[in-house]
Structure 1
Amino acid sequence: MAITNQIQRFYTLRGKKINDVYVKNRMGVHNQGHYLSVSSPQTIAKQGTLTLSMVLSPSGTVSGLIDAGSLIFLNDNPLQLASIPFVRIDDGDACMLTSFEIDSLRNPDDFPLPENYYYPTVEQKNVSLSIATPLAELRYRLEKTEITRRIVSSLLSKTEQFLPASVEEYEITNRSNSPQTVTVVIPMPSLVNIVRKISRPREQDYTFLGSCAVTGHIHETFTRDGIKGIRMGSSFCDDRMVIAVPERDDLLIDLQEAFRLRNYNQDLVINSDGRFHHANPIIDGNDYGAAISVTVTIAARATVTFPVAKVLDFPMQKYSDNVSIPRRYTVDFPDVSTRDQLMAVTALRNYSEWLKRTIKIQENILFSLGLSSTYRDDKDGAIMISRLLFNELSYLLSNASVLDTKGQARFLECFDYPFNNSADVDFYSKLLLAVFPEIELDLCKKFVDSINDKDDELRFYHSYISDPVSQQHYLKELQDSGREIGSDIHIYAAKKSEGAVYHDLGSLTFGNPLRDKSEYTWYNTSYWIDLFPKLALRVLRDAKYTGKIDFITENWETLKKGFNYLISLDFDGDGIPEGRAGEVRNTYDNIPFAGVDVYDANLFVACLLAMIRMAEITGDIAEKERFEKMLGTAQATYDKLWYETTGKDGQPMAYYITCTGVQGEGRNTDVFTDQLVGLWQWIAMGEKPFLPQERVVKLLKTIFVNNRTPMGWATARKEDGSSVESDQGKDVWIASNYVLAQMLDFYGLESESKEVYRMMDKIIFDHGNSLNTAESVRPEYEKQVGEKVAGPHYIVASYPRPGAIYDILFLNAIKREWDLNPDSSFIESEKLQVIRSEIFNPQ
C-alpha cells in the first residue's frame, strides 16, 4: 500500500468521477476550417519506451500503438477487450477488471449479444485510477478483495530506459477473515504484423487505423531463467511479443498459447484449480492473443503481489521511404533467437528498481518545489505542479520517431504536424535536457550545422504545395508579370538560404527522420526571425547545464554566421530584425506583425546577450564589442514598444505593445502574453534579468488582468480586453501560460501564478487530456457542427511546447541561488549542473 499511496496522491479519480472526466467533460477538437486535428486516444499510461509503446485507456484497454512516430488507432472493441484481465475468487464467478460497459457495444463489427462473449465487469463505483506518469494504477474493489493493476515503466530507470517493455504488478489484498484462492488471467492481443491503413490520406498527419493480423500467427510457450511465458510471432515478419511471469513456489502458473480475440470467455475458460480448460488451435481467419493465468492462495487480511512483463520486440523502425533503422535496444540484446525472452527476464528482475528510481525522481521534484517560498506551505499546490510536470514525460514515449543504435533520436512536433524537432517549438522545453541531455546536445548541434546548408532548388509553399492547379496558374501569372522567380518567398522560392536555421529536421510524411532536412512548407522559414535567437539561447543554455562549454567553442564560427544572416533581415536598420513587412516571421504564423514586434524584440535582446556571453567564453573580444554596441541600439528600439495607458476599468496598464507598424501602418497595441519569452529563458540559465523589475511587474499585472479568458490567458487581447482577430491570438497556448506563471512567480506575484497553473491543471486533468497535452485550447466553450452543447476544444494534442513547465524547477533553484549570492554576475555552469542532477540523476 505504501507504493499506492506514493502514486495516488498526485492524481486519483474514483467511481463516477472517472466517467465525468473522460466522457462527460471530454475536450473536443476545434475545427479550424481548413483542418480538423486528430482526436487523440484518451490515455492513462504508455507501456514501452521511446518509439515503441502501447496506449492504455482509462478503461484499462490497449487502445493504440505508437511505432516509430506513427500513431496507430486500435479501435476494434474485441481487440481492446482482449487486453483486459479477469479474476475469479474461490469458486465464484469470473469478473473482468474494468468498468467498461460491455452491453453498450454498438459498432457494426461488434457482437449482437456481447454479454455472451465476456464476463461481467466491475461497477464503476468500485473502480479508481491514479496517474503519476510514467506510473499508473487501476484499482478494483470486489466484495472482500481488492486488486491493484500497477503499470511500471522503465523510462526513468538508470540503465534500461530504452527497453521496449513494461511490467504490470498485480497487488491482491484479501479483506476477509478466511484464506482466499484467487486466479488472475492476464490476456494480451498479438500486435505482431499488425495491418496499418492510412487514416486520412489527404491530410499531413501521421496516423493510421490498425487491425490485428488474421494469418501467419506463430505462438509458443517458453521457460527461461526462472520465468515462464509465451512468445507471439508471425511467419510474415521478424517482430515478436512476449508476456511472461516469474516462477514462484506460491504461484500456480498456466499458459494459454493462443486465444481468439473474438472468443474471449470461451477460449479462456479456467478449471477449478485455475488452469486453462483447453488449448486453442491457431486457424487462419482469426486474430489471436495469448494469456497467462496465475493462481495464489492468500491468507486472511494478507496481500500478495506478482509481476507480469509485456515485451515488444519490433527490432526495425520502418518509414515511408522504405528505410528501416534498427532500434537502440538491439545493441543490448544482439541474439535474435533469445532477445525477446531475455528482455522479459530483464524486466522482471529489474522492474522494482525502475519503480524505486521513478518514485525517487518524483520525490525529488516534489521536494524541490517545496523549497520555494511559493509552495513551502502549500502541499496541495506542489502536488498539482508535480502532476503537471510528470504529465509531460509522456511526450518522450509518444513523440519519439526514431532511436537508433548510436543513440540518435528525433521527436515529432505532434502527430498532426509530423515534423521532427521543430526548433521554434522545442526551444520552450527543457524536458530532453533534464532527462536525456546527450540527445538534447545532439539535436542542438544539428540545428547549428543547418546554418551552413544551402539549397537553391525551388519549391512551392503554403496551400500551393498540394494544389497542382494553383501551381500552374501561379507560374503563368509569374511569367506574365515579369517578377523575379523566388521573390514571392511564401509561394515559390528556394528551399533554404545559407545562414538561416532549419525549422525542423524533416517530416515523416516524406521519409525517415535521420535525413536532417527541413521540410516545413506552410511558410518559408528562411525568413523567420525567431529561429536563430532561440538557437543561440539554446546553445548557451545546453552548454551551461551540461558543463560542456566546448560545445560553444566548437560551434562559434557557425553561430556568428547565423547571427550575421539574421541581422541581414533588419531591413530598416533600427537594430532589431523585423523580416519582410506583412509576411509571416515567427512561430505565431497566424498573427500579422508589422515593424518591430514584441515577441521577436525580446528574443533578439536576449540573443545579443547570449552572443556576448559566448564571445566572452571563446575569447572573441572583437565580436563581444560589436555585440555590445548592437545591444545598445536594439534596447533603444525595443524600448519604443513600451506603452502606458488606462484600462476600461480606470486602472493603469503598462506593457510592450504587439508591434510598431511600418510608416504609420500596422501599429498594434494588443497585449501579447508571450512577450517575455527571451527574458524567461535568459533568467532560467542563471543570468540576470535585462529589464527593470518595476517594468516587468507592471506588464505581468497587465497581462494577468487583461488577457484572462474562461479557459486561461489568451495569446493576445486588445487593450480593452476584447478578443483579437487571429485564431492564434484568440487561443490559450499552454506553453505561454506556463511562461506567464513562472514569470509571475519569479517576480513575486505568487497568487496570480498559482491561478494560471490551476487553470492549466483543469484543462489537462478535468477534461480527459492526461498524457495528451494540447498546444492550445479555445478561450471559451464553443458548439461545433454536430455537437449538442457548447464545450471546451483543443487545437492539436501530444505537443512538446508545454514542456516549458520544467523551467519552474530551474527558476526556483536559480532564485534561491540569487538570494544567497546577490552580487554574482551570473550563476556558474557547475551550480546549474547540480540543480539538474540532484533532481533527475539520483544516486
Structure 2
Amino acid sequence: MSPSVKIPTCAWTRPIGLGWEKPYTVRYASNLDDGAWHGMPLGGFGAGCIGRSHGGDFNLWHIDGGEHVFQPMPACQFSVFEQSEDQTQAYALSTATPEDGTLGAWTWYPASLADETTGTYHALYPRSWFVYENVLKATLTCEQFSPIIADNYQETSYPVAVFEWTAHNPTDAPLTLSLMMTWQNMVGWFTNALKSPDVKVRDDGSPEYAYQPRIGHSTGNFNQLTGNEQQLAIVLRQPELDRPAEGDGQWAIATRLNPHLYDVFYHTRWNSAGNGAELWTTFSNDGSLLDVDDETPAGDGEQIGAAIAVRFTLKPGQTLTLPFVLSWDFPVTEFAQGVEYFRRYTDFFGRNGQNAWSIARTALKHHRTWQEKIVAWQQPICDRADLPDWFKMALFNELYDLTQGGTLWSAADERDPIGQFAVLECIDYRWYESLDVRLYGSFGLLMLWSALEKAVIRAFARAIPHHDPRDRTIGYYLTIGAESPQAIRKAKGATPHDLGAPNEHVWEKTNYTSYQDCNLWKDLGADFVLQVYRDYLLTGATDVEFLAECWDAVVETLHYLKQFDLDGDGIPENSGAPDQTFDDWRLEGVSAYCGGLWIAALESAIAISTILSKCDRGSAPSTTQSAATFTTWLAQSRAVYTTKLWNGHYHHLDSDSGSNIVMADQLCGQFYAQILGLPNVVEPSHTQITLHTIYDTCFLKFNTYIQTQPLQTQPLVQSSRFQTPSTPHTSQPAPPTPIGAANGVRPDGSPENPNATHPLEVWIGINYGLAAFFLHSGMTAEAWTLIESVVHQIYENGLQFRTPEAITATGTFRAGHYLRAMAIWAVYGVLTNFETSNSETSNSETSTV
C-alpha cells in the first residue's frame, strides 16, 4: 500500500475479486441469496445506501427505504490509466465484467487467484480500502467511507460516500496516472412502480409484497456540470418538480480542482448502455476525457452517464492523495401510497431534492475531519492489546446493518426532536425493529447512538395502548397443513412484535408479521420492559423523563401478559404453540426462556417505579400500587420457576412438554438481571452449573456429533416455518471447525428431532449473547472459543455484510442481513461494563455549506 495510508490491522481482508470455493448457500428457496459478493455499505443512516463488493463493482442499492435491489451497475465505476516510459495500461477497477456485453470497449481489472493476488480489499466499518498491487507499476489505494460517527446525529445521516485515492510511485522513473469516476443517471429508478402491491402469504407462512423498481426509466433525465474555483461536480438530475416524490432527486459526482498538481477532465453525457468507447478511447490513450458539456435529456429507452477524470504525474518516490465524492439527494421515503416521510438529512440540506451538489461540496470540505472523528471513536478499541483482531473486526463490521438494514431515520419534529429510527429484522422478514430480536441486536445502537435507541423504544411505548381489530390469517398453520384461526392484528395492551413494514405505515401500523399471532407471545412484554430499564440504566441513569414516558406502557403490557397465567402461579404459561422468539419451537407451560424474562422484567418494573416515586413522576395507576402488584407476582414466580424447571444440571425447556432438550438461551432473563444489577432470577450456583452444561452440550457435544454423525435431515413436511430445502441437507460435509452452539439438543449433543428447525440451527446473535453471558459469569475461555467459532463461519464463508440469523451443520444459512447479529456489542459491553457516551445531542462541529 502507499506509505501514507494506514489501514488498521484488524480490518477484514480478502484478495480483490477472489471468490469462494464453497460459500454458505441459502437453506430454503424462499429465502434471499444474492451470493457471496458483498462488501461494506456506503451511506448515512436512513439516507439510503449502496454496496461495493470486494471485486470492485457497485452492486447493492438500498436507495428506497426498506427495499432491496442487488445487481451490478457497470457504468457506476472507477477506472485507472497508467503511463510509464515503456507502456500504457487502463482498467475499469472491477473484476466483474458485464455479462451482457455492456461497456465492451473497456478493459476490466484482473481478479486475484488463490496463489496470485492483484490486490487486497480491507473493511472495518464504516471505512474500507482497496489496495491494488502487482498489475500497475504505481501503488494505488482507495479508502472509502461515509461519516458514520458515534454519538453524532447530523453527519451520520448524510447521503454521501467519500473515495480518497492515494497514489505512490515506487519506481525510479516518472509515472502518469489518471483516475476516472463514472456514474449512471439513475434518478427515478428506486421507488416501487406498484404503488399498492397486494400482500400475500408465501409458502413459509410470512407475508410478502411485490417490489418492482423503475430501473432503466430515465426519459428526461440529464446531467449538468457545476462547480466553483476549488471544486468540480456533475449533477445527475431530472426536470425540477414542485415537490419531489419517492425516487425523485439527484446524484452528484465531484472532486477538487488543483491545477498545480493535476488536470481535471469531464464528460457530462455518454451512453452508459453502449460499449463505452466514447470515454475509453481517449481515457485509455492518455488518461483524458473530451470535456463534453451536454445537458440534452435522455430520450425514450436511452441511458446516460457522467464522468470525471483526474490526471497527474508522479516523480519517483512521490505520493499524491485526492478525493472523489458521490452524493445523492432523494429526500422522500414513501410507505403505503401517500404515506410519506422526509429523511433525517433533510433537516440540514432542505427538502426539495435539489441538494446533491451542496452535500458533495460539504463532503469535499469536511471529509478529513470526518475521517479523524471516525478514527477517534474506533482507535481505543483497535489499540486494545487484550482483544484479538478478529473480534475487533467483527465488532465494527456487524454495525453495517445500521446503514444497510433498510434503515429509516425521519426528519425531526416537535414530538421527535431527532426524528424516528428503525432497522428491518432482515430482508426476508421485512418488518422493522422486531422487539424479540432487538433484545439482543440493539446493544450497538444503545452504546453508540443512544438517542436513536431510545427513539425506537418510545415508538413501542406509544404503540402498546393501540388496538387494531382487523382480522388476518396466521401463516404458521398453513405451513403445517392446518386450518388457520383468524386473529386480530394488534390487541390493546399487547407489546407489538414490530413497528410495521415499508409498504404500510411504519411506527403507526405495528405487528406486521402474521406468521404467528404475536398478541399471544409470552416474551414481548418482558422484552419491552427490560429494554426500557436497560436503556435508562446504561446511558447514565439520569434520563428520568424517558422512564416517565414509558411507564404507563410498562404497567399496561405487564398486566396484559399476566392474563396468560391461567393457573395463577405467577408466571404466564406458554400455550404449546410457538409463542416467543423461537417461533417454530413449541413450548408448553412454564418455560425457562419466557419465565426468566418475566421475572427479570418484574424486577425492572419495580426498579423503575422506585425511581419515578423518588422523583415524584409516573401516572395512574400509581407507581406505588403497581410496584406492590408486581412484587406479589414476583414472589409467586420465583418459587415456581425453580421448583418446576431446575433438575440439578440445567433448567428444563418447559414444565409440560416432557422435552429433555438443553436450551442454549434458557437463562436470558438471568443474563439481563446480571447486567442490570437486578436480583438474580436463579441462584448463582445454578447459573454456573447451567452455563457449563450449555457449553458442554450445545457447543462441544453438538459439534462433535455433527462431525462424526452428520445430520441426515429429511425434507420438512410438518411443523416447519420454511418450505422444503432447495438442496438436500447432505449436499455439503459438516464444517471441519466448530460452527457455534445449537439452540437446543439432548444432553449428549444429539437432536431430539432430526427434522427440527430452530433447535438445530446455530443463531449468530444468540451465540454472541450467550458469549456475553459467559464472560459476565467468569467463563472467559469458553466465551472466546464460542465467539471465534461464529466469527470464523461468517467471515470465512462468504457471509460478510449479510450476516444471517442462522447457519446449519450442512453449510447453509437462513435470513441474511439480520438484526440480531449486532449482539456482538453485548460482548464488548460486558468487557467495558457498558461504558457509553451519555451525551444524546450531536457533537458535530461542521456545518452545511
Which of the five TM-score ranges fits, normalised by the shorter chain?
0.7 to 0.9
**Can you list the C-alpha shifts for 1:185-205, whole angstroms capped at 9, x where unaligned?**
121222212276789986516
Confirm or deny that 1:321 pairs with 2:337. yes
Q: Distance in 2 between matches of 1:127 and 1:700?
A: 44
Partner of 2:610: 616
Aligned counterparts of 2:844 and 2:348: Cα–Cα separation in 1:
23
Which residue of structure 1 aligns with residue 560 of structure 2? 565
Shift of 1:254: 0.8
1:756 pairs with 2:814 = no
Alpha-carbon distance in structure 2 between the residues aligned to 1:172 and 1:761: 33
Counterpart in the other structure of 2:225: 221
Alpha-carbon deviation of 1:464?
A: 7.6
- The one-letter code matched in structure 2 to 1:729 is P
Preserved CA contact (<8 Å) 1:190 1:289: yes
- The within-5 A match list for 1:44-59 is 44-51=39-46, 52-59=48-55
* CA–CA separation in structure 1 for the residues paired with 2:786 and 2:229: 52
Once residues 197 and 454 of structure 1 are traced to their aligned partners in structure 2, the CA distance between those partners, rounded to angstroms, is: 29
Which amino acid is the alignment partner of residue 61 of structure 1?
D
Deviation at 1:277, TM superposition (A): 3.9
Matched to 1:426, the amino acid is R
Residues 31-110 of structure 1 mapped to structure 2, 5 A cutoff: 31=28, 35-39=30-34, 42-51=37-46, 52-75=48-71, 79-80=73-74, 82-90=76-84, 92-96=87-91, 98=93, 100=95, 102=97, 107=99, 109-110=100-101
Mean Cα displacement is larger for which, 248-257 or 433-442? Answer: 433-442
1:506, CA displacement in angstroms? 1.2
Q: Hey, what does 2:461 align to over in structure 1?
A: 448
2:547 is aligned to 552
Letter in 2 for 1:660: S
Where 2:470 maps in the other structure, the secondary structure is strand
**1:192 equivalent in structure 2:** 187
SS of 1:764 mapped into structure 2: helix
Quick one: structure 1 residues 160 and 196, their matched pair in 2 at CA, closer, same or farther if it must change by over 3 Å?
closer
Query: What aligned pairs does 1:831-842 form with structure 2 within 5 A after superposition?
Result: none
Alpha carbons 1:50, 1:400 under 8 Å: kept = no
CA 74–520 in structure 1, closer or farther in 2 if over 3 Å, else same: closer
Query: Unpaired runs of 5+ in structure 2?
Result: 203-207, 242-247, 413-418, 614-622, 704-737
Does the 8 A contact of 1:400 with 1:409 survive in 2? no
> Shift in Å at residue 681 of structure 1?
2.3
Corresponding residue SS for 1:760? helix
Q: Structure 1's 335 and 418: CA in aligned 2 closer, same or farther, altered over 3 A?
A: closer
Q: CA deviation at 1:688?
A: 5.7
The aligned counterpart of 1:480 is none
1:677 alignment partner AA: C
Change (3 A) 1:621 1:209: closer
In the TM superposition, what are the counterparts of 1:237-316 in structure 2 within 5 Å? Answer: 238-248=248-258, 249-261=260-272, 262-270=274-282, 274-277=287-290, 279=292, 284=299, 285-316=301-332
Q: Partners in 1 of 2:510 and 2:63 — Cα distance?
A: 22
Q: Does structure 2 conserve the Cα–Cα contact (< 8 Å) formed by 1:98 and 1:122?
A: no
1:541-581: per-residue Cα shift (whole Å, max 9, x none)? 111233312222343233212211111110112211014x3
Find out whether 1:391 has 2:397 as its counterpart.
Answer: yes
Shift of 1:393: 1.5
In structure 2, give the amino acid aligned to 1:640.
T
Give the deviation of 1:74 after TM superposition.
4.6
2:36 matches 1:25: no
Q: Following TM superposition, by how much is the alpha carbon of 1:49 offset from its aligned partner in structure 2, in angstroms? A: 1.5
Q: Are residue 128 (structure 1) and residue 134 (structure 2) matched?
A: no
Separation in structure 2 between the aligned mates of residue 595 and residue 2 of structure 1, nearest angstrom: 64
Residue number in structure 2 paired with 1:692: 683
Q: Deviation of residue 61 (structure 1)?
A: 0.9
Q: Contact 1:128–1:139 at 8 Å: present in 2 too?
A: yes
- The Cα of 1:123 is off from its aligned counterpart by 5.2
Contact 2:577 2:585 in 1 (8 A): no
What is the CA–CA distance in structure 1 between the aligned matches of 2:26 and 2:311, rounded to whole Å? 44
Query: What are the equivalent positions in structure 2 for 1:288-687 lying under 5 Å apart?
Result: 288-334=304-350, 336=352, 339-367=355-383, 370=384, 376=386, 379=387, 381=388, 383-406=389-412, 407-428=419-440, 429-462=442-475, 491-509=485-503, 511-546=504-539, 547-579=542-574, 581-619=575-613, 620-644=623-647, 654-661=649-656, 666-687=657-678
Question: Does the aligned pair in 2 maintain the 1:72–1:210 contact within 8 Å?
Answer: no
Q: Which residue identity does 1:26 align to in structure 2?
A: P
What is the rounded CA distance, in whole Å, between the counterparts of 1:724 and 1:448 in structure 2? 39
Q: Is the 8 A contact 1:73 1:210 kept in 2?
A: no
Alpha-carbon distance in 2 for matches of 1:71, 1:338? 23
| C-alpha distance 2-499 of structure 1, shift in aligned 2 (>3 A) | farther
* Amino acid aligned to 1:552: L
For residues 760 and 676 of structure 1, the distance between their equivalents in structure 2, rounded to whole angstroms, comes to: 20
Distance 1:515 1:594 in 2: 33
Q: Percent identity?
A: 21
| Counterparts in 2 of 1:455 and 1:70: CA distance versus 1, 3 Å | closer
1:219 Cα offset (Å): 0.7
Tell me whether 1:712 sits opposite 2:712 in the alignment: no
* Residues 254 and 336 of structure 1, relative CA distance in 2, 3 Å threshold: farther
* Larger deviation, residues 453-462 vs 67-76: 67-76
Ranges in structure 1 where 5+ consecutive residues have no aligned partner: 475-489, 646-653, 782-791, 815-831
Q: Give the AA of the match of 1:517.
A: T
SS in 2 for 1:636: helix
Letter in 2 for 1:45: M
Q: Which amino acid aligns with 1:294?
A: V
Task: Give the aligned partner of residue 799 of structure 2.
Answer: 769
**Partner Cα distance (2:209, 2:750) in 1:** 33
Distance 1:747 1:53 in 2: 39
Q: 2:827 aligns with which of 805, 808, 825?
A: 808
How far 1:424 moved relative to its partner?
1.3
Give the secondary-structure state (helix, strand or coil) at the position aligned to 2:611: helix
Q: Helix, strand or coil: the match of 1:268?
A: helix
C-alpha separation in 2, matches of 1:753 and 1:298: 50
Deviation at 1:594, TM superposition (A): 0.9
The count of residues paired between Structure 1 and Structure 2 equals 757
Contact 2:188–2:249 (CA<8 Å) still a contact in 1? yes
CA distance in 1 between counterparts of 2:514 and 2:802 reads 25
Select between 181-190 and 115-124 the one with higher mean Cα deviation: 115-124
CA contact (8 A) 1:69 1:206 kept: no
Contact kept, 8 Å, 2:500 with 2:506, in 1: the verdict is yes
Alpha carbons of structure 1 residues 574 and 514: separation in structure 2 relative to 1, 3 Å: closer
- TM-score, normalised to structure 2, is 0.83
Whether the 8 Å CA contact 2:598–2:669 is kept in 1: the answer is yes
Deviation at 1:101, TM superposition (A): 5.7
AA in 2 matched with 1:5: K
Distance in structure 1 (CA, Å) of the matches to 2:477 and 2:213: 28
Q: Deviations over 1:662-715 (max 9, x none)?
A: xxxx22220000112122223233446443333222211111121123421111
Measure the CA separation in 2 of the matches of 1:265 and 1:8: 40
Deviation at 1:405, TM superposition (A): 1.6
Return the match for 2:750 from 717, 722, 727.
Answer: 722
Amino acid in the other structure paired with 1:628: T
The one-letter amino acid paired with 1:39 is D
Kept in 2: contact 1:365–1:809 (CA 8 A) = no
Return the letter of the residue paired with 1:629.
T
Alpha-carbon distance in structure 2 between the residues aligned to 1:150 and 1:745: 35
SS at match of 2:496: coil
**Change in CA separation of 1:588 and 1:96 when aligned onto 2, cut-off 3 Å:** same
- TM-aligned CA distance change 1:572 to 1:655, over 3 Å: same
Match of 1:746 in 2: 776
Tell me which protein shows more helix as a share of its residues.
Answer: 1
CA contact 2:57–2:94 (8 Å) conserved in 1: no
* Contact map agreement 2:36 2:799 (CA 8 A) in 1: no
SS in 2 for 1:413: coil
**Relative to structure 1, is the Cα distance of residues 686 and 84 closer, same or farther in structure 2, using a 3 angstrom cutoff?**
farther
